[in-house]
Structure 1
């Protein structure tokens, strides 16, 4: 029990600096992408933070598997370089028994990654798209006072003044089906009904005319709605389980689903590699654990990209079989012979 606690504490000491470092770097990349959206839509600090919170599951998903795998290898390599693994092995704990000590926590990490990738990421992507769609809709109502040439959907619009979402002396014009339509209103109010935006015109007149006739309509209240493409409305998102059932039944996102699963189980199916890279005799061998680990990470994700995009869902069982078989073969021909 003390040995288990010691090994886990050494793993924690290595893991958190690596994970937090990668998390920070990845966060900067996502924050730059979020900040670039301000050139299209206007957001305050709270809205920027809200949008960032939606990408936190993606950041964890991209950083956690690599961080955990590297920290496991570096922890064992550190113990090897300080001759601690040699002492532990001399007391009868061979590499497989060391592997069993790390198996439960590795399983929990992979399980957590599955929850994040298959459960949280689809939900937060939906919320993020919904948020951006709403902001883009609001941007279409960002009409400035006393400026010509502004558009609201198909309408040319001119206003004399505005106060927040209340517009004064509104004039709208468009041509449709060889008929000109002209609308004037003393006041217009921007309505937001659960994300559905519309213009409510109050106390005005509508003129419709062509070469043959002229019509006038007086109104007390009139609504103009504009439909804007909404990516998040493609699916009626209820929960992540129903989402995956829906997209997979429509032959969609097979590669994404397979990539999520394979990336999540990467630490679990790489335990033989962790032992292989972490064990070495510092008297006769150099510590190349980090180099080998990075090479393994790149190889695995390239494998997912090359094979996963071709065989789609079959990659979920084919790639783990190939990876476990290859890593065990490497382990059996190196570490297993010596320890």
Structure 2
């Protein structure tokens, strides 16, 4: 019992710094993507935090399996480097018995990852899409005064001043079918009708230029429309119905296999943990981290290349292949010595 507690404590000491470091780095990447939305729609701090909370399951899913696997290997390698594994082995605990100590927590982690990936991530992605669609139907676009490169639909737009939804000295430009269209207007008012944005341009001129003609139109008022609401309304009841529908329609099957196989990675890689973690510090160098990183890359390449081709068949083919291969590696190396 004390040995089990000791090994678990050593795992915790190694795991949390690695996981928190990867979690922070991945969070920054997702935050940058979320912040990029402010160039399209207006978001306050609370709304940014809401969007970030929706991607937390994805961050955990991408960081947890790698962090846990590396932590297990590093924990055993550290104990081996300090000759503690040698002492533990001398008391009759061979690598398999030590491995059994980590099986329950590893199995629990894989189950949790399955719940997060197959259960929570589809729901949070739906909530994110729903949230953004709602923002698009409520808010006006974040068009800033005296700034180039902004777009309204297919039009490039430039404004001199902005007062709420009223814009002064508006200039619009678009190239379509080898025709250049240019519009200038004294004022414009932005109207949002359930996601259908429209500019009402007042007192302006429109120019249409092609290779042969130059046309000018003077107007008192003109409307330019841009539908930003998603016309396709998705319905999400629960994750089971979501995946059942996708399997029936043969869509997003590669996502399902990727989620499930990534979730199973910690539990089906335990033979690699003792293979890389066990070494004799007197005769061998500690290459546990190097070998572990190669294994992680190899596994992810495997599930992407093969999983995307054989789809649902990968759910049994890849785990069987991976378990057989890792056990053979363990049998040829560590089992002979211990």
Band the TM-score falls in, shorter-chain normalisation: 0.7 to 0.9
Deviation string 1:50-75 (CA, Å, 9 cap, x unpaired) is 11111000000000000000000000
Could you tell me which residue of structure 1 aligns to residue 255 of structure 2?
256
Could you tell me which residue of structure 2 aligns to residue 29 of structure 1?
29
Q: How far did residue 136 of structure 1 move?
A: 2.5
CA distance in 2, matches of 1:305, 1:264: 14
Unaligned runs of 5+ in 1: 154-160, 168-186, 200-224
Which stretches of structure 1, 4 residues or longer, exceed 6 Å deviation after superposition?
141-145, 150-153, 161-164, 187-191
Q: How far did residue 227 of structure 1 move?
A: 5.5
Alignment of 1:7-18 (within 5 A): 7-18=7-18
Q: Closer, same or farther in 2 for the Cα pair 1:151/1:16, shift >3 Å? A: closer
> Please, what is the CA RMSD of the aligned residues?
3.0
CA distance in 2, matches of 1:267, 1:20: 18
130-139 vs 82-91, which moves further: 130-139
Deviation string 1:179-222 (CA, Å, 9 cap, x unpaired) is xxxxxxxx99967xxxx5579xxxxxxxxxxxxxxxxxxxxxxx
CA distance in 1, matches of 2:267, 2:73: 13
Q: How far did residue 41 of structure 1 move?
A: 1.0
CA distance in 1, matches of 2:64, 2:293: 14
- How many residue pairs get matched? 282
Could you tell me which residue of structure 1 aligns to residue 62 of structure 2?
62
CA distance in 2, matches of 1:229, 1:188: 15
Deviation string 1:94-122 (CA, Å, 9 cap, x unpaired) is 00000100000000000000000001100
Could you tell me which residue of structure 1 aligns to residue 42 of structure 2?
42
Could you tell me which residue of structure 2 aligns to residue 295 of structure 1?
294
Q: How far did residue 307 of structure 1 move?
A: 0.5
Could you tell me which residue of structure 2 aligns to residue 138 of structure 1?
138
Alignment of 1:10-159 (within 5 A): 10-140=10-140
CA distance in 2, matches of 1:240, 1:143: 38
Could you tell me which residue of structure 1 aligns to residue 317 of structure 2?
318
Could you tell me which residue of structure 2 aligns to residue 171 of structure 1?
none
Unaligned runs of 5+ in 2: 146-150, 155-161, 167-188, 198-224
CA distance in 2, matches of 1:230, 1:198: 10
TM-score normalised per structure 1? 0.76
Q: Secondary structure at the match of 1:265?
A: helix
Could you tell me which residue of structure 2 aligns to residue 230 of structure 1?
230
Could you tell me which residue of structure 2 aligns to residue 180 of structure 1?
none
Alignment of 1:269-308 (within 5 A): 269-308=268-307
Deviation string 1:153-174 (CA, Å, 9 cap, x unpaired) is 9xxxxxxx9778xx9xxxxxxx
Q: Secondary structure at the match of 1:35?
A: helix
CA distance in 1, matches of 2:38, 2:190: 27
Equivalent pair of 1:65/1:263 in contact (CA under 8 Å) = yes
Q: Closer, same or farther in 2 for the Cα pair 1:144/1:8, shift >3 Å? A: closer
CA distance in 1, matches of 2:336, 2:86: 15
Q: Closer, same or farther in 2 for the Cα pair 1:189/1:106, shift >3 Å? A: same
